[in-house]
Structure 1
Amino acid sequence: MSNPLLEVIGTKYPILQGAMGGVAYHQLVAAVSEAGGLGIIASAGMDKETLHEEIRKTRELTDKPFGVNLMLMSPNIADMIEVIAEEKVPVVTTGAGNPKPVIEPLHQAGCKVIPVVATARQAAKMEAAGVDAVVCEGNEAGGHIGTVATMTLTRAVSKAVKIPVVTAGGVADGHGLAAAFALGASGAQLGTVLVASEEAPIADNYKEATVSAQENSTFEMAREIGSPIRLLQTKGSDHLQEIIDNGGGREDFEPVSLELLVKGAKGDTENGTVTIGQIAGVVEEVRPVKEILDSMIEEADQVISSLSIL
């Protein structure tokens, strides 16, 4: 049976790499694409030249498809789209804003457009607007999140739309991928498990914090200001909470959040932040990206073939 997601993203495996700020740079992006998935550059906080450079460095390491993520609340979104068009990036994922205004210009540039959604209603609106697929990200994911758990959200979204659905939040192995397929998804987006990859260009102690975490180690904050995020408890997360407690809004929170995320990724996991998902409790070791993806596909196939409980 053909997988409709593969027709959209042009990869060997129906796996996307999440656009994790401070993590999703060319080293990881290229490794994921080389391994058969779709690597995605996190453009948040970049200027035009930095994005150009990341795209070119990625192409030096792989000739496979990859994408760029756009945070739509970014003030330089028009510049980012210009770079994507110039560089002929094949796939764009979007978050943190309404993607409707950017769908047409991205399509005109030859890009497939895949927004991240948090509800089935959002997914249906995006399908009507002409996007090529949707990522439905559940509450257990790391980083910015919605309110609905992945299992419920995946099924609701897959019933609401006919375009390919990608599950995000709570997938770290073949069992999770098989579950996503069973719920109607055509693939999965991975984040936390790729933080714990050899190729992730982050400090070793950030990776160790990920593999040491349990399924109940993370917590959610900042929903009251419209910027919900899941992360580990650190001095960095305490600082973010102080911003909220002092009356700060999303516009105050987000720049500091990105700054602390990068600080954590560079190794200061005490004063920075570690934005990982609940599935960290399943991630037991740091492995090469190719091993992570190959074993996930093999295990998913075995799980699906062996299901005989009914």
Structure 2
Amino acid sequence: METRITQLLKIKYPIIQGGMAWVAEHNLAAAVSNAGGFGVLGAASAPADVIRQEIYKVRELTDKPFGVNIMLMSPFAKEVAQVVTEEKVSAVTTGAGNPEKFLEMWKNAGIKVIPVVASVAMAKRMERHGADAIIAEGTEAGGHIGQQTTMTLVPQVADAVEIPVIAAGGIADGRGFMAAMMLGAQAVQMGTGFVVANESIVHDNYKDKIMKARDIDSEVTGLSTGHPVRSIRNQMTREYLKLEKQGASLEELEYLTLGSLRKAVMDGDMKEGSIMAGQIAGLISKRQSCKEIIEQIMKEAEQLRSK
């Protein structure tokens, strides 16, 4: 299926892998790119030299295009921005901040810039400053989220900008893919669906938790801090919500979650770990390779399109 995004990124299928912290490392990114999608390294809060090594490792595993997601709140964001420029990755996706100060540098290096946005206003601003495409992410997504749903955000962003739009949040099968296309998207970004992929380094406990999740099993914490996060409900989320209700300070809340994502991803701690996942987790019930995930979605989408 050829779209403006497949042309822009020179990929076979209009499916982008989310740049998830601790999850989106070189094995997953390379596997997605080799399967015809667009793999993305999640820089998160990692130092620049770590990201450079991850870029090298992806290139050892694939000759296909891939990108890097930069969390702009990271203390190493400036250094990572420079590394991706020097390494001339195909594209940069950004989150948790405004990438304007890096746009000229990336564009001059021939890098496609694709910010993640949660509002029409930010989408229009990113277009004015030279973004090549926009990822419109709805609140159904896992991890850090905005307030608008994918169903309402994507068509409004698509109407507001001329650059292509990628839909994210609550997409894990051909039905979600085709719905996004009907809303005006030129591709989809998926995170939770790839967490359980065979190539994902995520602990088996985490994968099992996603595959056993029901539609009502996710929880949003951090609303009081202005940085809401969607995760699967567990002991940590219950304690966090209790502290929020009691008016706990930002420091208390941050202390509770310190290292919690690593605990879940690497150690398989399902009690005190942060099991970030989207509402679509209830639809995910089996492990597959990245190739199988992508090809199944495209097969389902083609069947729907031909009806």
**TM category, shorter:** over 0.9
| Residues 86, 239 of structure 1: alpha-carbon distance in 2 compared, 3 angstrom cutoff | farther
Question: Offset at 1:236?
Answer: 2.8
The correspondence of residues 190-209 of structure 1 with structure 2, limited to 5 A, is 190-209=190-209
Asked if structure 1 preserves the Cα contact closer than 8 Å seen for 2:48 and 2:83, the reply is yes
Cα distance between partner residues in 2 of 1:187 and 1:214: 26
Asked if structure 1 preserves the Cα contact closer than 8 Å seen for 2:45 and 2:71, the reply is no
Give per-residue Cα distances to partners, 1:3-55, cap 9 Å, x unaligned.
11112211111111001112101111110000011111110121122111111
| Residues 13, 159 of structure 1: alpha-carbon distance in 2 compared, 3 angstrom cutoff | same
Give per-residue Cα distances to partners, 1:244-286, cap 9 Å, x unaligned.
556433x775686462111101111222111001111111111
- Residue 87 of structure 1 corresponds to 87
What is the Cα-based RMSD across aligned positions, in Å? 1.7
- Residue 275 of structure 1 corresponds to 276
| Residues 257, 42 of structure 1: alpha-carbon distance in 2 compared, 3 angstrom cutoff | farther
1:61 equivalenced with 2:93 (yes/no) = no
Q: What is the one-letter code of the residue matched to 1:277?
A: G
Q: What is the one-letter code of the residue matched to 2:291?
A: K
| Residues 2, 38 of structure 1: alpha-carbon distance in 2 compared, 3 angstrom cutoff | closer
- Residue 5 of structure 2 corresponds to 5
Question: Offset at 1:91?
Answer: 0.4
State the secondary structure of the residue aligned to 2:101: helix
Question: Offset at 1:73?
Answer: 1.4
Cα distance between partner residues in 1 of 2:299 and 2:4: 20
- Residue 97 of structure 1 corresponds to 97
Cα distance between partner residues in 2 of 1:255 and 1:9: 40
Asked if structure 1 preserves the Cα contact closer than 8 Å seen for 2:196 and 2:202, the reply is no
Asked if structure 2 preserves the Cα contact closer than 8 Å seen for 1:21 and 1:258, the reply is no
Asked if structure 2 preserves the Cα contact closer than 8 Å seen for 1:67 and 1:92, the reply is yes
- Residue 219 of structure 2 corresponds to 219
The correspondence of residues 1-310 of structure 1 with structure 2, limited to 5 A, is 2-241=2-241, 244=244, 245=246, 247-249=248-250, 257=257, 259-266=259-266, 267-306=268-307
Q: What is the one-letter code of the residue matched to 1:209?
A: K
Unaligned runs of 5+ in 2: none
Cα distance between partner residues in 2 of 1:126 and 1:276: 27
Give per-residue Cα distances to partners, 1:105-135, cap 9 Å, x unaligned.
1112221100001111211111111100000
Unaligned runs of 5+ in 1: none
State the secondary structure of the residue aligned to 1:216: coil
Cα distance between partner residues in 2 of 1:2 and 1:220: 36
Q: Which moved more, 1:275-284 or 1:101-110?
A: 101-110
Question: Offset at 1:238?
Answer: 4.0
Give per-residue Cα distances to partners, 1:188-244, cap 9 Å, x unaligned.
000111111111111111100001001111011112211111001223324544665
Give per-residue Cα distances to partners, 1:154-174, cap 9 Å, x unaligned.
111111111110010111011
| Residues 272, 2 of structure 1: alpha-carbon distance in 2 compared, 3 angstrom cutoff | closer
State the secondary structure of the residue aligned to 1:21: coil
The number of aligned residues is: 305
Q: Which moved more, 1:1-10 or 1:167-176?
A: 1-10
Asked if structure 1 preserves the Cα contact closer than 8 Å seen for 2:119 and 2:157, the reply is yes
Cα distance between partner residues in 2 of 1:205 and 1:153: 33
Question: Offset at 1:75?
Answer: 1.8
Q: What is the one-letter code of the residue matched to 2:304?
A: V
Asked if structure 1 preserves the Cα contact closer than 8 Å seen for 2:2 and 2:13, the reply is no
| Residues 258, 127 of structure 1: alpha-carbon distance in 2 compared, 3 angstrom cutoff | farther
State the secondary structure of the residue aligned to 2:67: strand
Question: Offset at 1:81?
Answer: 1.2
Asked if structure 2 preserves the Cα contact closer than 8 Å seen for 1:150 and 1:168, the reply is yes
Aligned identity (percent) is 44
Cα distance between partner residues in 2 of 1:138 and 1:48: 29
Asked if structure 1 preserves the Cα contact closer than 8 Å seen for 2:171 and 2:177, the reply is yes
| TM superposition score normalised by structure 2 | 0.95
Asked if structure 2 preserves the Cα contact closer than 8 Å seen for 1:25 and 1:42, the reply is yes
